[in-house]
């Protein structure tokens, strides 16, 4: 503890000191005595609005409630730190790997672009179009690497044809996990995705940050026997929360080719992720990066994007399973 006497504080700094100091009522020799304000003694934690922090807190809280430990605060802190470090103890979590892994690919309908053209994209040699993706035309086992011309890896390609920019095709990835316990919308069991993702973009001029967004759309369902057919659709739009901070170009890469690696933790239980209150034994997830949709071509003549992921699902355990 330090004691300072006969210290003159300039008027311009009084406001700042006032937020951390409290003045006592007693004075002596015409000098005031100040102490540290109680509210300034505690370190400020992370914002509760941080979605990743909320995810970790919710998961640790669920485990604490289910396990009713003798020392709840210590148990909660330990589980919170383990989740932060991606260290999922087998005692508290089921580890689930994908049983099915396929790529779904489709071609767009090419329409005229009717919106006002942004000045930075107004190029008579690369006119914008409106590329609308709705349904996949085929699917196959997800290939390694870039795949082949007929069966490309998840991603998309675009090019200029007759002075018009257009997407050629778009492919999304679909994983299915067989859950070790039944899950429904009401029981609150924690189900988390550990996603290690890599996206590589190659372009004739420069890459665009928007191409590196990741969209994960999870959904729960029930299968009694065989494989339930998935609804035919393609996800080509994404939310702001699916775009992650990154450096597009490092000292080892060029502006027209860049690979971004990312590890993220996401909650699988989302709004509209369940179909009613059915007990579900399967978890599916569609993973995409957004195509240009005929608009976001970044003044390129050709663009190729591929993405690959390693996805592990962790399902919370209770003492009864």
Q: How far apart are CA 147 and CA 158, in angstroms?
A: 17
Within 10 angstroms of residue 275's Cβ, the number of other Cβ atoms is 12
Which of 148-157, 250-259, 298-307 is the least confident region?
A: 250-259
Q: State percent of the chain over pLDDT 90.
A: 62
Mean pLDDT, all residues of the chain? 85
pLDDT tens across 64-97, in order?
Answer: 999 999 999 999 999 999 999 999 999 999 999 9
Q: How would residue 236 be classed by pLDDT, with cut points 50, 70 and 90?
A: confident
Say whether pLDDT at 247 is over 90.
Answer: no
pTM passes above 0.85: no
pLDDT at residue 44 in the model:
44
pLDDT digits (tens, 9 = 90+) for 17-32: 454 455 544 544 554 5
128-180 pLDDT, tens digit per residue, is: 999 999 999 999 999 989 999 999 999 999 999 999 999 999 999 999 999 99
C-alpha dihedral, 189 to 65 to 263 to 97, nearest 10°: -40
* Cβ atoms 303, 295 nearer than 8 A: no
Higher pLDDT, 47 or 225: 225
Q: Could you tell me the residue ranges of all domains in the chain?
A: 1-44, 51-87, 94-316
pLDDT score of 203: 95
- Could you read off the pLDDT of 185-200 as tens digits, one per residue? 888 899 999 999 999 9
Under the banding of pLDDT at 50, 70 and 90, the label for residue 42 is very low
Tell me, letter by letter, the H, E, C secondary structure of the chain. CCCCCCCCCCHHHHHHHHCCEEEEEEEECCEEEEEECHHHCCCCCCCCCCHHHHHHHHHHHHHHHHHCCCCHHHHHHHHHHHHHCCCCCCCCEEEECCCEEEEEEECCEEEECCCCCCHHHCCCCCECEEEECCCCCEEEECCCCCECCCCECCEEEEEEECCEEEEEEEEEEEEEEEEEEEECCCCCCCEEEEEEEEEEEEECCCCCHHHHCCEEEEEEECCCCCCCCCCCCCCCCCCHHHCCCCCCCCCCCECCEEEEEEEEEEECCCCCCCCCCCCEEEEEEEEECCCCCCCCCCCCCEEEEEEEEEEEEEEECCCCC
- In this predicted model, which residue has the larger pLDDT, 83 or 117? 83
């Amino acid at each position: 503890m330090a004691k300072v006497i006969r210290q003159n504080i300039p008027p311009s700094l009084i406001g700042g000191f006032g937020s951390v100091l409290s003045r006592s009522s007693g004075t002596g020799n015409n000098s005031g005595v100040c102490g540290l304000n109680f509210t300034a003694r505690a370190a400020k934690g992370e914002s509760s609005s941080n979605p990743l922090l909320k995810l970790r807190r919710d998961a640790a809280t669920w485990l604490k409630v289910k396990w009713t430990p003798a020392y709840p605060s210590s148990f909660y802190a330990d589980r919170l730190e383990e989740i932060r470090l991606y260290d999922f103890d087998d005692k508290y979590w089921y580890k689930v790997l994908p049983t099915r892994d396929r790529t779904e690919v489709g071609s767009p309908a090419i329409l005229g672009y009717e919106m006002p053209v942004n000045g930075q994209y107004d190029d008579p040699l690369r006119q914008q179009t409106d590329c609308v993706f709705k349904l996949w035309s085929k699917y196959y086992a997800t290939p390694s690497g870039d795949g082949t011309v007929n069966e490309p890896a998840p991603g998309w390609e675009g090019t200029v044809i007759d002075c018009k920019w257009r997407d050629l095709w778009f492919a999304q990835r679909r994983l299915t996990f067989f859950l070790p316990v039944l899950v429904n919308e009401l029981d609150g069991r924690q189900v988390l995705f550990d996603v290690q993702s890599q996206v590589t973009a190659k372009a004739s001029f420069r890459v665009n940050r928007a191409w590196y967004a990741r969209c994960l759309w999870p959904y729960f369902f029930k299968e009694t026997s065989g494989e339930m057919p998935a609804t035919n659709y393609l996800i080509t739009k994404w939310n702001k929360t699916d775009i992650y901070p990154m450096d597009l170009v490092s000292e080892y890469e060029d502006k027209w080719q860049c690979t971004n690696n990312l590890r993220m933790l996401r909650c699988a239980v989302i709004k509209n992720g369940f179909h009613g209150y059915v007990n579900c034994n399967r978890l599916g997830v569609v993973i995409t990066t957004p195509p240009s949709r005929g608009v976001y071509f970044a003044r390129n003549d050709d663009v190729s994007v591929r993405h690959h992921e390693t996805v592990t699902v962790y399902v919370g355990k209770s003492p009864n399973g």
